[in-house]
Structure 1
Amino acid sequence: MNSAISAIDDTDRALVHALQLAPRASWERLAQVLGARPETLARRWERLTTAGEAWVSGIGLRTGAQAPCMAWVEVTCAAGTSPAVGAALTGDPHTMGVEHTTGGRDLLVFVAVPNLHVLYQYLSFRVQRIPGVVGTRSSMVTAVHSSPDRWRLDQLTPAQADLLTGRGRRKVAATPPAPVAPMPEEDRPLVLALASDARRSVASLAWESGMSESTVRRRLGRLEAGQSLRYSCALASGLTGWPVAATVWAEVPEHEVADCAAVAAGLRETRTCMSVSGPWNFMIGVRLRTIEELSRYTADLTRRLPGMRVADTMVALHVRKSEAQELDRTGRRVRTVRPDIWQDAAPAPREEAPPHGSA
């Protein structure tokens, strides 16, 4: 048996599942659901996070009232250079994900920047100038139907999940989701402070930011309620039982996109689902137990969605980075690359500098 897999048990996985549902819940609240002492859960979490086996991160990428400009970038490299190129891209704050993949590209990179001009600048004067890069192809994200933070382990019972989230306490009529609120520039340092550990106490955030604890609580509450800040709890992929990451590119009739997204998001293996521009208009990121399951998954998709045409599939050989976390080959976290997407994407290009003396 793999010693890395045997190092954690069902209680650890239940704790991760609980934190996926309630990332900032107190140890006392979690203890009521999991049937363990608060201090025991705290010690387990400390062990998991210290080993890089689990983490809770906070991500907030909005620029005022605008959603970030996001794109999937396929990178082709000269022979033997993809490890160095992948390492260079992993260190950039503008990359949320970096994978070495099979298929017609060497790397698949998920990029987030404030606007289209910065995306152009990042691709033209950063990515395409990394030694070894011989070509790129980009697909803009036009809609996010399901994001990675919604993927869950299946360790808790429905009753435990309802108790933790409060969904079982009352029945209310379905209401449309509230619009995403703007994120003031002054809140960015607070959001970035949560990138490596979203369970940080209000006291520590207040001390670091120089704000009062009541101000921090108020700002966090506003960001959470307005969906400008989201939390993601993850377990190292090698420990989840779903170690294989793959990407499916598909063509979907535009009038069927919503239905296709709903069906795809409902499949256990689906981790993310997005509409994109480019060669194809639909992408799905999946987690699988084995490589062999990919063909079964795509067959199930096309059976459920006759209008969908699967155009390409790729398997991740090595996920270097996911949601701003640098990972090792077993999926354990090595470090957090602070996702400050608002900093300069590349040195100012000399050829685009304004003429001398211009206003």
Structure 2
Amino acid sequence: MNSANSAIDDMDRALVHALQLAPRASWELLGPVLGARPDTLARRWERLTGTGEAWLTGIGLRTGVRPPCMAWVEVTCAPGTSPPVGDALVADPYTLGVEHTTGGRDLLVFVALPDLPALYRYLSSRVQLIPGVIGTRTSMVTAVHYAPDRWRLDQLAPDQIDLLTGRTRRSAHATVPATAPVAPLQYEDRPLVRALASDARRSVASLAREFEMSESTVRRRLTRLEAGQSLRYSCALASGLSGWPVSATLWAEAAEYELADCAAAAAGLRETRTCMSVSGPWNFMISVRLRTVEDLSRYTADLTRRLPGLRMRDSAVSLRVRKSEAQELGPRGHRLRTVVPDIWSDPDPAPSGPVGL
């Protein structure tokens, strides 16, 4: 859908912002905060998700009690082959993000696999065998300082945010311990997490019917995974409609003892979507959302002004984001479909013949 023809309005943006703060809050709880009837909010959300203008996904980034092996893979392609290479990577359940970018790589891909040996097999037997791929460079994620699900729209007023967060804290107080330990994502939890990848607002009743569990069992599992940080939710609005249509990635270098300060400074800037410590040529990576391409230089200047010891080494603007948080996206950033992630199984070798073509 062309954004010029979209019927999206400020109430829709406020609804998305509210669901970023309280992803599974009931419409009855959200209604007084947004000043709308619960059934009106439900209809709006059904329209937004039906057109791919907005979505809410659940991601389980844990193998047992440990995070998976995550990495950024820069892919270089033969001339004219980056679109079909991108097609193959978008369809892959091990990729959570795929972008066509400027700079010294054709594609920037975020992957998650069970462990280092699985990552090696995945790169050598799948990615590097895709027709058109002529080179890869991999940077391991060693720490996630600021995750993408923490980025917010700026539609709600401060008093609405306070009211919403206060309501959700009170509603969760009876079931979630104040300091919940890390919850293992167990084998039997995986189907439940996969089911939330395309629609994290699925009702407990529908999940219970699908997996032949009691509603209390489903509710208990979700509460444990949410409180133990093994299941996180991400609500997004199509980039062309959000007011922040430009995505960019920066690579920087800093002394290891300064990385926590770097992360705190980056997290304090409105545009920061995620920042991570990585291995490779440089040890710090930031992804940002911008209103215009020209804002990239201002953002970089703001960051280096706050951190004179941070040395910016490279940057790339996304020409097109093909996949984000396991969602395949269209040219205007609308969701086309969900590619359900499978970060727990060992990747099979590439099938014989062209991959993804």
Normalised by the shorter chain, which TM-score bucket?
Answer: over 0.9
- Distance in 2 between the 1:142 and 1:341 partners? 17
- Distance in 1 between the 2:326 and 2:3 partners? 27
The list of structure 1 runs, each at least 4 consecutive aligned residues, that deviate by more than 6 angstroms after superposition, is 167-170
- Distance in 1 between the 2:117 and 2:227 partners? 30
Q: Secondary structure at the match of 1:111?
A: strand
Counterpart residue type for residue 105 of structure 1: R
Q: CA RMSD in A?
A: 1.9
- Distance in 1 between the 2:180 and 2:289 partners? 29
- Distance in 2 between the 1:248 and 1:262 partners? 16
Using structure 2 for the length normalisation, give the TM-score: 0.93
Counterpart position of 2:21 = 21
CA-CA distance at 1:344 after TM superposition:
3.6
- Distance in 2 between the 1:135 and 1:177 partners? 45
1:247 maps to 2:249: yes
Are the counterparts in 1 of residues 74 and 105 from structure 2 also a CA contact under 8 Å? yes
1:184-263 map, 5 Å? 184-263=186-265
Structure 2 unaligned residues grouped into runs of 5+: 171-177, 353-357
CA-CA distance at 1:195 after TM superposition:
0.3
- Distance in 1 between the 2:301 and 2:315 partners? 12
1:106-117 map, 5 Å? 106-117=106-117
Counterpart residue type for residue 59 of structure 2: I
Aligned pairs, how many? Answer: 345
Are the counterparts in 1 of residues 63 and 184 from structure 2 also a CA contact under 8 Å? yes
Q: Secondary structure at the match of 1:61?
A: coil
- Distance in 1 between the 2:281 and 2:5 partners? 39
- Distance in 2 between the 1:168 and 1:306 partners? 39
Counterpart position of 2:66 = 66
- Distance in 1 between the 2:283 and 2:86 partners? 26
Are the counterparts in 1 of residues 126 and 350 from structure 2 also a CA contact under 8 Å? no
Are the counterparts in 1 of residues 29 and 167 from structure 2 also a CA contact under 8 Å? no
Are the counterparts in 1 of residues 129 and 350 from structure 2 also a CA contact under 8 Å? no
Aligned partner of 1:275 among 271, 274, 277: 277
Counterpart residue type for residue 240 of structure 2: G
Q: Secondary structure at the match of 2:40?
A: helix
Counterpart position of 2:160 = 160
Write out per-residue CA displacement over residues 129-170 of structure 1, whole angstroms, 9 at most, x where no aligned residue: 000000000000000000110000011111111111118989
Are the counterparts in 1 of residues 73 and 139 from structure 2 also a CA contact under 8 Å? yes
Write out per-residue CA displacement over residues 87-130 of structure 1, whole angstroms, 9 at most, x where no aligned residue: 00000010000000000000000000010011001000000000
Using structure 1 for the length normalisation, give the TM-score: 0.93
CA-CA distance at 1:177 after TM superposition:
6.7
Write out per-residue CA displacement over residues 270-308 of structure 1, whole angstroms, 9 at most, x where no aligned residue: 000000000000000000000011011111111110010
CA-CA distance at 1:185 after TM superposition:
1.0
- Distance in 2 between the 1:169 and 1:324 partners? 28
CA-CA distance at 1:342 after TM superposition:
2.0
Structure 1 unaligned residues grouped into runs of 5+: 171-175, 351-359
CA-CA distance at 1:345 after TM superposition:
1.3
Counterpart position of 2:297 = 295
CA 1:3–1:235 in structure 2 vs 1: closer, same or farther (change >3 Å)?
A: closer
- Percent identity, aligned pairs only, is 79
Counterpart residue type for residue 71 of structure 2: A
Are the counterparts in 2 of residues 327 and 333 from structure 1 also a CA contact under 8 Å? yes
Counterpart position of 2:33 = 33
Counterpart residue type for residue 331 of structure 2: R
- Distance in 2 between the 1:179 and 1:139 partners? 29
